[in-house]
Amino acid sequence: MATGKTTTLTFRIEPALKEALRTAAESEHRSIANMVEVLIREHCGRHGIAIQETAPLFPEAHEAPSSGLKPQDR
C-alpha cells in the first residue's frame, strides 16, 4: 500500500484517546500514523467513501521480477 507522496496531518485529541490509539497500534505492531490510516480506510470502506489512490513513485518496484528469459527461450 506504499504510495508516492504523503502529507502531514496535525490534530489535537484527548489524552485518553491518544493512549487508546497507541495501545491499538502497538497491539497490531503498527505505527500510530499507520493505525490512523487503517482506521480511516476502514471507516471510509464501511460508509462508501471513495479514496483516490495515488500512483507509487517507482511502479516498476511493484512488478514481478523478470526471469530474464524471452518467451521463446522458456
Task: Give the start-to-end residue ranges of the domains of the chain.
Answer: 11-48
Exposed, middle or buried by CB within 10 Å (0-12, 13-18, 19+), for 30?
A: middle
- DSSP state, residue 36: H
Categorize the per-residue pLDDT at 1 as very low, low, confident or very high, splitting at 50, 70 and 90. Answer: low
Q: What is the pTM of this model?
A: 0.66
Residue-level pLDDT at 25: 98
Q: Identify residue 25 by its one-letter amino acid code.
A: A
Inform me whether the pLDDT recorded for 54 exceeds 80.
Answer: no
Give the residue-averaged pLDDT of 37-60.
Answer: 88
Is residue 67 within 8 Å of residue 74, measured between CB atoms?
yes
Give the residue-averaged pLDDT of 41-60.
Answer: 86
